[in-house]
Amino acid sequence: MSSNLATESTVAGAIGQSPKRIEDDRFIRGKGNYVDDVQLPGMLFMAIYRSPFAHATINSIDCSRALAMPGVLACITGKDLEAHKLAWMPTLAGDTQAVLATDKVRFQGQEVVAIIAKSQAQAVDAIEGIDVDYDPLPVVVDPKRALEADAPVIRSDLEGKTDNHIFTWESGDADATDRAFRDADIVISLDTLYPRIHPAPMETCGCVSDYNKATGKMTVHLTSQAPHAHRTLFALVAGLPEHKIRIISPDVGGGFGNKVPIYPGYVVATAASLLIGKPVKWIESRSENLISTGFARDYHMSGELAATKDGKMLGLRANVLADHGAFNAQAAPTKWPAGFFNIATGSYDLPAAYCKVEGVYTNKAPGGVAYRCSFRVTEAAYLIERLVDNLAHKTGIDAAELRKLNFIQPEQFPYRSPMGWEYDSGDYDKAMDIALELVEYKALRKEQAEKRERGEVMGIGFSSFTEIVGAGMSKICDIAGLAMIDSAELRIHPTGKGVLKLGVQSQGQGHETTFAQIVASELGIPSTDIVVEHGDTDHTPYGLGTYASRSTPTGGAATAIVARKLREKGRQIAAHMLECAPDDLEFDSGTFSVKGSPDRTKTIQECIFKAYQPELPEGMENGFEDVTYYDAPEMTYPFGTYICVVDVDKGTGEVKVRKFVAVDDCGTRINPMIVDGQIHGGLTQGFGTAMMELISFDEDGNCFGSNFMDYLIPTAVESPHWTLGECTTPSPHHPIGAKGIGESPTVGSPQAFVNAVVDALTPFGITNIDMPLSSHKVWKALRDAGVSDD
Amino acid sequence: MSSKAQITVTLNGEEHEALIEPRTLLVQLIRETLHETGTHIGCDTSSCGACTVLLDGRPVKSCTILAVQANGRQVKTVEGLETADGLHPVQQGFKEEHGLQCGYCTPGMMMTSVALLEENPDPSEDEIRKAISGNLCRCTGYVNIIKAVQYAAKQQQGVGA
């Protein structure tokens, strides 16, 4: 740690305190400002006609009936966009994606025609007036089928493309791993699908694009998790000069990765505003959100774990088929086609590991976004934790003991994993011990044994995950060539109150509260004296945005450092006023005092006021502001142990989560109230993933799960109770020792639910059920095992 | 589509007249015609409850009610909760108990909670969970929303005592 000050400050709102959230004052009054709340004079509305087919050739598009309908001003097709070189756009993964389809449609719900009308209703009405003549083509929904030699080639637009293969990516040492498997007493194998799900934030995606002909400036109010990166991409894609683009991402109603990519709707609405010269609003419906914007997961995984008969893990091997849909629109750092899937060795000191991921095209919506996840760490954490629990069942070693036997030990940090990651810090036994105590583990296993005697079905599932967050590290992480840095600009006004401007962007994380707390600790002024601004590219410094739990690791670090720079300026001024050397001053909670003369003091506020007055130290400029761009030296590695207890109804297959203990270690906790809130929400999303959520397709590529009656997310009734515990192992390289928390619970929890259900069903020989664990699926497994009747 | 309907709706105590297309939804009237944007839209199947408002004191999903059905009636939205005496106890509860994160579901969630407490001033946790089960939240896991409603219940009972 380069400073202990942060966690010791007694200033109001400092790190470790839980002040109430600043942003709530507007939200509880209905005064938030979300994109759909933006109403501009003369604003037009856009609706999108989408393909009913998953795969078809477009013979012709006739918009004449739509154009004759009331209020309709324009119908924009891919051909119209071709004239402006905008029919196709690059994806974050370096592929291309149709903005509006010209030659073919490649998934159900694909954008074909954009209608501009005077009202939202008129635009939507006119969808009925679009006539497209299609020739349906054979559909590929199964990624295994997609790789067969005679499979229809989906991306015929790509020159020379003769198959549906996107990439093959390998990591680790295949030979060493083979040797480990040869030496093993036991090999556990698991074929599992981490199914296609959707982040489904409560606010869908949308924009209001507002081109000002007089100034040539394009202002886009956008549901964006990365407004600066989006500005640059708009400049690169649309050829607009970047200084004439302003992205305003106002209040965002949840993102969870869904609002990282650029979607065709944004591009068309922006082009329409440019051509028509009026503001154009486009807001997706929920159905459009679920069928067309960034899905998550869809990883078909085959994992193998090699171990000795005593339970010592020797090697991990993973082969993955990654279904990316019709365009490779995965959101991940450019150099990482399978994200950080190679974090797959998790919390365990595995000597050898190897993974291979193949990406394929299918006739499904594009995506592969990092849903509350650092780029495929979720799938990786699921695979290893499922394998470890199955190894426990196979060896008869208790699942907690088996983990402890294989955990990376505290003295091994910084720890280099066999696939190349350098873990910063950890104490996995400690998190496990706290969790075991909270859940009253011994009593639970006793109860389980007794229940089994009586024929009742109860299970206990573990997940001891290690996360990788904070991308981070420009030497390995960029998006479209942009280093994944982030920034903070701090300006304190003469009276000691000021503004912090961030490159990251909140979608509910509470940055306006927590980032002011970092300033409070580092600079010693109360957190309520700092206003945090973010989301407006004209008024904030450059950054790559908020996803993958990167805000605190990157923007939080930048905030601490910029506050320290100003603290040092304050120290120079204080020394000047107190006529001592700067090194003779101590700083505590906002006050400089002369060592040995505690009555000789200057407050930071006095120093700040002085910064705007004459007679500063020789050579010092007036003002009290600075900016920092932070490039993380390494990722951060939060971790935890989760334990889930379930009761299963043999007759119906219903799973009841009786207890769920979550012990998280995210390093320093800035605002414990907000950290707990993030964990509650992430665990509930993990519960939804494990138990309810699914986007599936029939053989014709029709999408199921296209609305909130079919795509079920947890309500208050079925959401479990959570018991939280914590431990704190600061990150040694982060300025305040924080690691990030947002995604740990979604990454860590799904496998705990599944492990609990599999643990419950182990006596019946059941070793796997793929998510979501619906009652029907669990009942079927029991029936197939001869336990339940038809 | 050309014939329009003339309606009179009282929104948060203020009477408004509006000439609207008969198919206009109540949520559209509130947001687009009367420009109170605190009431949100989160789905197209009446599933999420982000648009919940009180119609003559009862919670309704305003995406599922035609504006003409509100003719001559009282509509209360999130903007109508705060009075000259200050925040409504439910609003206080949501802030004090960290009952919101992105804030998108919050107005609807609060209106449902207000209606619950009108009917049942001292609800159990199960009763709260059932009452808000038509309101989806993707951020909080509902834990602190339940605490917020309990906080408000206590506040209201304290005031009444």
Instruction: Tell me, rounded to whole angstroms, the distance of Cα A573 from its chain centroid.
Output: 42
Angle between helices B143-160 and A672-691 (to 10 degrees): 120
- What gap in Å lies between CA B103 and CA A271, rounded to an integer? 31
- What gap in Å lies between CA A22 and CA A527, rounded to an integer? 10
Residue A354 in domain: no
Q: Report the DSSP beta bridge partners of residue A584.
A: none
- Omega before A241 cis (within 30°)? no
Q: Cβ B42–A286 below 8 Å, yes or no?
A: yes
**pLDDT digit string, tens, across residues B116-154:** 999 999 999 999 999 999 999 999 999 999 999 999 999
Q: Are A755 and A685 members of one domain? A: yes
Q: Which parts of chain A have pLDDT scores under 50?
A: 1-6
Q: Cβ A684–B78 below 8 Å, yes or no?
A: no
Q: Are A723 and A645 members of one domain? A: yes
Written out in words, the top-level CATH class of the domain with range B5-80 is alpha beta
Q: Cβ A251–B129 below 8 Å, yes or no?
A: no
- What gap in Å lies between CA A193 and CA A198, rounded to an integer? 15
Q: Is A703 a catalytic residue?
A: no
Domain edge (last residue) among A630, A658, A682: A630
Q: Which of B1, B51, B104 would you mutate first to test chain A, the one with the most A CBs within 10 A?
A: B104
- Residue A43 in tokens: 């604003």
Query: Which domain, by its residues, includes A654?
Result: 376-469+637-784
Q: Are A15 and A47 members of one domain? A: no
Q: What pLDDT does A3 receive? A: 42
Which of the residues A108, A110, A122, A225 is marked catalytic? A225
- Residue A747 in tokens: 């990454």
Q: Are A451 and A506 members of one domain? A: no
For residue B160, the distance in angstroms to the closest alpha carbon of chain A comes to 23
- Residue A402 in tokens: 């088996």
**pLDDT digit string, tens, across residues A178-231:** 999 999 999 999 999 999 999 999 999 999 999 999 999 999 999 999 999 999
Q: In sequence order, what are the residues at sequence separation of 6 or more whose Cβ sits closer than 8 angstroms to the Cβ of residue B18?
A: B6, B7, B8, B9, B29, B33, B34, B67
For residue B130, the distance in angstroms to the closest alpha carbon of chain A comes to 6
For A607, phi then psi, to 5°, come to -65, -40
Q: What pLDDT does A472 receive? A: 84
Beta strands in A249-390 (DSSP E): 280-283, 295-307, 313-323, 352-360, 367-369
Residue A523 in domain: yes
Max distance between CA atoms of chain B, in angstroms, equals: 55
Q: Are A40 and A28 members of one domain? A: no
- Residue A383 in tokens: 């695979």
Q: What pLDDT does A607 receive? A: 98
Q: Report the DSSP beta bridge partners of residue A169.
A: A357
Q: Are A584 and A545 members of one domain? A: yes
For chain B, give every residue range classified as CATH 3.10.20.30. 5-80
Chain B residues with beta carbon closer than 8 angstroms to that of A120: 32
| Chain A contact present for B25, CB below 8 A | no
Q: What pLDDT does B143 receive? A: 97
A536, HSE (Cβ side, Cα atoms, 13 Å): 10
Q: Is A120 a catalytic residue?
A: no
Q: Is A288 a catalytic residue?
A: no
Closest C-alpha to A711, from B144, B128, B138: B138
- What gap in Å lies between CA A346 and CA A377, rounded to an integer? 9
- Residue B86 in tokens: 């200050």
Q: Evaluate the CA torsion angle B148, B149, B153, B159 in order and state its sign.
A: positive
- The CB density around residue A592, as the number of other CB atoms within 10 Å, is 27
- Tell how many helices (H) and how many strands (E) occur in chain B: 5, 5
Q: Are A519 and A624 members of one domain? A: yes
Q: In sequence order, what are the residues at sequence separation of 6 or more whose Cβ sits closer than 8 angstroms to the Cβ of residue A512?
A: A21, A22, A23, A506, A531, A532, A534
For chain B, give every residue range classified as CATH 1.10.150.120. 89-160
Q: What pLDDT does A5 receive? A: 45
Nearest-by-CA chain A residue for B101: A508
pTM of the model: 0.97
**pLDDT digit string, tens, across residues A562-608:** 999 999 999 999 999 999 999 999 999 999 999 999 999 999 999 99
Residue A460 in domain: yes
Nearest-by-CA chain A residue for B80: A29
Angle formed at CA A761 by CA A757 and CA A763, multiple of 5 degrees? 150
The CATH number of the domain holding residue A719 is 3.30.365.10
Q: In sequence order, what are the residues at sequence separation of 6 or more whose Cβ sits closer than 8 angstroms to the Cβ of residue A6?
A: A14, A15, A518, A521, A522, A560, A668, A735, A736, A737
For residue B65, the distance in angstroms to the closest alpha carbon of chain A comes to 16
State how far the alpha carbon of A287 is from the alpha carbons of A50, A404, A703, B27, B43, in Å. Answer: 11, 45, 10, 18, 8
Contact A230, A221 (CB under 8 A): no
Q: Are A28 and A40 members of one domain? A: no
Q: What pLDDT does B52 receive? A: 98
Residue environment code for A144-174, b if the CB has 16+ CB neighbours within 10 A, otherwise e:
ebbbeeebeebbebeeeeeebebbebebbbe
Q: Are A24 and A60 members of one domain? A: no
- What gap in Å lies between CA A83 and CA A103, rounded to an integer? 15
Q: What pLDDT does A7 receive? A: 53
Written out in words, the top-level CATH class of the domain with range B89-160 is mainly alpha
Chain A residues with beta carbon closer than 8 angstroms to that of B144: 677, 680
Nearest-by-CA chain A residue for B43: A286
Residue A302 in domain: no
Q: What pLDDT does A4 receive? A: 42
Q: Which of A21, A27, A292 would you mutate first to test chain B, the one with the most B CBs within 10 A?
A: A27
Contact A269, A225 (CB under 8 A): no
**pLDDT digit string, tens, across residues B83-95:** 999 999 999 999 9
Q: In sequence order, what are the residues at sequence separation of 6 or more whose Cβ sits closer than 8 angstroms to the Cβ of residue B83?
A: none
Domain count, chain A: 3
Report which DSSP code applies to A261.
S
Chain A residues with beta carbon closer than 8 angstroms to that of B21: 121
> Could you tell me the pLDDT band of residue B2, with boundaries at 50, 70 and 90?
low
Q: Is A477 a catalytic residue?
A: no
Of A32, A681, A721, nearest to B139 by CB-CB distance is A681
Q: Are A43 and A108 members of one domain? A: yes
Instruction: Tell me, rounded to whole angstroms, the distance of Cα A375 from its chain centroid.
Output: 8
Which of the residues A372, A376, A386, A564 is marked catalytic? A372
Interface of B with A in 67-96 (CB under 8 A): 77-79, 81-82, 87, 91, 94-96
SS3 assignment, position A192 = strand
Residue A479 in domain: no
User: Cβ-count burial of B73 within 10 angstroms (0-12 exposed, 13-18 middle, 19+ buried)?
Assistant: middle
- What gap in Å lies between CA A140 and CA A106, rounded to an integer? 10
Q: Which of A24, A50, A122, A202 would you mutate first to test chain B, the one with the most B CBs within 10 A?
A: A202
- Omega before A414 cis (within 30°)? yes
Q: Are A23 and A44 members of one domain? A: no
Q: Cβ B141–A253 below 8 Å, yes or no?
A: no
- What gap in Å lies between CA A233 and CA A270, rounded to an integer? 13
Closest C-alpha to A112, from A47, A50, A55, A46: A50
- What gap in Å lies between CA A605 and CA A524, rounded to an integer? 9
- What gap in Å lies between CA A203 and CA B138, rounded to an integer? 10
Interface of B with A in 96-155 (CB under 8 A): 96, 98, 100-107, 110, 128-130, 132-146
Type of residue at B123: P
ipTM comes to: 0.98
For residue B152, the distance in angstroms to the closest alpha carbon of chain A comes to 13
Q: What pLDDT does B159 receive? A: 64
Q: Are A236 and A110 members of one domain? A: yes
Does B161 score more than 70 pLDDT? no
Contact A739, A664 (CB under 8 A): no
- The CB density around residue A438, as the number of other CB atoms within 10 Å, is 17
